[in-house]
Amino acid sequence: MHAVGRTPLEWFYHWEQERPNHVFLRQPCDGDMIEYTWSRVGEELRSMVSYFREQGFEEGDRIGIIARNSARWVMADLAIMMLGGVSVPLYPSQSSESVRYILDHADVKLLFVGNLDQAGKTLADLPLSLKTVDMSYGVNHDFSSLTWEEIIGQHEPLSDSPQRNPQNLTTIVYTSGTTGRAKGVMHSAEAMAFVARNFYDCFQLKHDDRFFSYLPLAHVAERSLLELTSIYGGICVTFMEHMDHFLRDLKSSEATAFFTVPRLWSKFQSAILEKVPQKKLDRLLALPLVSYLVKRKLKSQLGFASVRSFGSGAAPISVDLLKWYQKVGIDIKEGYGHSENLAYATTHQTEPVVCGSVGQALPGCDIKIDQDGEILIKSPATMLGYYLDPESTMRAMENGFFKTGDLGKLDDQGHLTIRGRCKDIFKTEKGKYIAPSQIEGHLDHNRYIEQICVTGHGLPQPVALVVPSPESSQLNRADLTKYLEDAMELANRNLQNYEKVKNFIVVKEAWTVESGLMTPTLKMKRHMIEEKYRAIVETSREHRDSVLWEERG
């Protein structure tokens, strides 16, 4: 059972009529749970649109949203659609400089501001003339002229259900900007509808499924897989109040589908192994009846008791990690996509999952590999273009295909394997071309490695910059060195001779969004990291020790 209509807004109207008293959104707040029915959401949306019109906002106006995920994030997005406006989502972890750039570039007329971890820093450079609406829960931003509650209380709801042209610009999603200024990716409601319908069918979802939302809704993966699909399918969504309450809120959601990023899958693994060492776990899993009970208990402790579909995306996940989860009864389907196609390209659609690939092309998606090995993708989800940037749009497109910038290959069954980013490939002193992400995939799930960046332009062999995990503080330097040496040796067994890592360089500080070395989506700004550590990487030529340390000043 799913909605009828051509746009997310029409789907919302469908469920508002069909299931007015069913809960759509669940928002934890200060120990309580606020439940929004489809009817209540519709009333609040229409009051918000009354406010928009009173303030003179019109169809096509850009309206921003910056907040952690919440029920009001989704409601703000739907209200903007109801106006006929264009939503501009921003990451809650975005730097103030980046926030200001996007607000200016998109000419944002109004900004919804919700709960933020560092509101003072994130919002330090807002234009004085910009109107804001405080949609936070449990706190108030003192700079805001009006709160969500005040607007809803002071404005009568519209009496009708406005429609919008499916082909019109509906949202501008700014890229993470790993190599420069973020670009504004334009999408229509028609493209958003295509993606949600097909994700719903592909993952065999039902209207009584349940979602848990915590990955940033500013990212197209969470927006497409969760927000849009929930509106299409009439699915209830529970939000996370704060990362401190992750497990509490996940369990409360009783989620039936769970999607996250490789970094968190790795952290979940570490949490399990802290309680049950690998050797003990292997012994338990070898006993048929005990194995079943252990798998069920692990799922329950992680909050996955009701989950039947698991996914990973937004970054590569190691084959070893996927196989480890398969052993404990969690079969993770990896997906692949981009901001430019609303995260809609491939996923695993057959059993068993082919580890190492990102699956096969989703329905309506045409994928090919050009003569240079670059992956090209075309579908109805492909962007309208980059906002105010026709030159970049022309460079990114080729006969209707989006040029992904990723290197890959397709097998006879259509399984796509990613080899790395075209721009990340480097050449060693020996003339060999290296795809760093493939090497990182053999190392980044280790318990004592938090972050890793493989580099080596012009060096005899690749080297890896390593940020130790918080758990590594339990070890002295000698023990951690031995662990890293063993991890390197194990990874090198699976690499070609020219790919083998010569050195680990353990660095002093973690790479963060605040330091400018990570994007708001927690992707490495590889070129910035390489520049920061260029000198110490070059000195690795002179060292025989396999593990080197950046000494503290």
Q: Given this structure, which CATH class describes domain 424-549?
A: alpha beta
Per-residue pLDDT reduced to its tens digit, 396-424 = 999 999 999 999 999 999 999 998 888 88
Look at residue 456 and tell me whether its pLDDT is greater than 50. Answer: yes
Q: Are 442 and 488 in contact (CB under 8 A)?
A: no
Q: Are 202 and 298 in contact (CB under 8 A)?
A: no
What percent of the chain has pLDDT above 90? Answer: 73
Residue 103 to residue 490: CA distance in whole angstroms:
47
Per-residue pLDDT reduced to its tens digit, 300-320 = 999 999 999 999 988 888 888
Interacting residues of 534 by C-beta distance below 8 A, sequence separation 6+: none
The single residue listed with the structure tokens 């990613």 is 418
Q: Which residue has the higher pLDDT, 141 or 213?
A: 213
Structure pTM? 0.88
Residue 553 to residue 542: CA distance in whole angstroms:
21
Q: Which amino acid is at 403?
A: K
One-letter-per-residue 3-state SS of 309-328: EEEECCCCCCHHHHHHHHHC
Look at residue 1 and tell me whether its pLDDT is greater than 80. Answer: no
Residue 206 to residue 12: CA distance in whole angstroms:
16
| Domain chopping of the chain, boundaries | 34-199+219-225, 257-305+308-412, 424-549
Q: Which residue has the higher pLDDT, 483 or 351?
A: 483
Q: Which residue has the higher pLDDT, 433 or 294?
A: 294
For 34-199+219-225, CATH number out of 3.40.50.980, 3.30.70.580, 3.40.50.300, 3.30.470.20 equals 3.40.50.980
Helix (H, G, I), strand (E, B) or coil at 522: coil
Look at residue 553 and tell me whether its pLDDT is greater than 60. Answer: no
pLDDT value for 394? 97
Burial of 257 (0-12, 13-18, 19+ CB in 10 A): buried
What percent of the chain has pLDDT above 70? Answer: 98
Same fold, 257-305+308-412 and 424-549: no
Residue in 103, 121, 12 with CA at minimum distance from that of residue 63: 103
pLDDT value for 10? 96
For 257-305+308-412, CATH number out of 3.40.50.12780, 3.40.50.300, 2.40.128.110, 3.80.10.10 equals 3.40.50.12780
